[in-house]
Amino acid sequence: MKENDWLELWRELVMRTFRPQKERIVERYKAHARKRMERPDPLLDFILKEIDADNTVVEIGPGTGRWTIPLAKKTKNVTAIEPTPAMVDILKENIGNSGLGNVEILPQTWEDASPEIHDVVICAHGMYGSPDLAAFVRKMDRFARKRCYLAVRFPPADGILGELSLKIYGCRHDSPDAVIAYNALYTLGIYANVLVEDGMVNWVNSSLEDAFKRAKRHLRLEASDIHDELILSTLEKRLNFADGFYTWPDGMRSALFWWRPDHKE
């Protein structure tokens, strides 16, 4: 039986699925971020309870500041590392509106950034464009005195995308996810603690056509029609239709991994 190379699987999926953020995608992300700001976030709440007021924080890939602002309110200062110019502009605006003066923004990738060593290094969904997960995580380890936190999407075991990905690509993982990340961390000798969100926000589409477009977008098949029949038949069989909407077993849920840097107590 062949053993999985989790780090290589992560690399392959990043190379197949990652897309640099374009202006229109950033605007869509901004709209979704407003909704996320209103939802409870048990992973962020857990971190806020764990860290101290005198801690310094590096946040990798802060996006619009969903975690940045609460972290800055709780801690001494936050260094936010965000490479996308349009996202930096939104982040600056949101920080300014919050009246915070303890956030420094480095407009760089994590790979290129050279911040000072901080107490805590946090990355919530900011690693999906990094094919070398080992280097990404080891750098988190080097720049943290006390703790590292990594939040990653956690797909359901019975998801439609997983089923389709297995049939189309021969791999149930349609993109980098928490299952791969945890096993990759284990491979690196990092025995991470795990916290998984209790609930999941299931995807909902108003039409089968919209669900079909969603599936093709996630599977990176917009330019191909050779799997259209398979995708449609699977959606028709698996989606739950009620009250005029199609509900997926797939949706938004994350897992939080945390560990102490291996060079510290």
CA angle 222, 178, 44 (to 5 degrees): 110
Confidence class of residue 31 from pLDDT cuts 50, 70 and 90?
Answer: low
Average pLDDT over residues 195-210: 95
Pairwise CA distance, residues 200 & 185, whole Å = 24
Q: Which amino acid is at 103?
A: V
Give the strand order in the sheet containing 254-259.
103-106, 77-81, 56-60, 118-124, 144-153, 254-259, 193-196
Map 211-224 to HEC letters.
HHHHHHHHCCCCCC
Average pLDDT over residues 95-104: 96
Q: Model-level pTM?
A: 0.92
| Top-confidence residue, 145 or 4 | 145
- pLDDT higher than 50, residue 112: yes
Percent of the chain residues topping a pLDDT of 70: 91
pLDDT value of residue 19:
74
Q: What is the DSSP string of 69-93?
A: HHHHHHSSEEEEE---HHHHHHHHH
Question: Looking at the predicted structure, is the pLDDT value of residue 240 above 70?
Answer: yes
> What tokens appear for 124 in the block?
């919530």
| pLDDT for the residue numbered 37 | 57
pLDDT of 135-187, one tens digit each?
A: 999 999 999 999 999 999 999 999 999 999 999 999 999 999 999 999 999 99
Residue 63 pLDDT > 80, yes or no? yes
> Taking the CB of residue 46, how many other CB atoms lie within 10 A of it?
14
Give Cβ neighbours of residue 159 (< 8 Å, ≥ 6 apart): 248, 249, 250
pLDDT greater than 60 at residue 29: no
Structure-token pair, residue 80: 């936010």
Dihedral angle, C-alpha 37, 147, 87, 94, nearest 10 °: 50
Q: Give residue 41's pLDDT band: very low, low, confident or very high (50, 70, 90).
A: very high
Residue 26 scores a pLDDT above 90: no
Name which of 175, 105, 166, 141 is nearest 258 in CA terms. Answer: 141
Domains of the chain in sequence order: 6-158+171-202+252-259 (3.40.50.150)
Model pLDDT, residue 265: 44
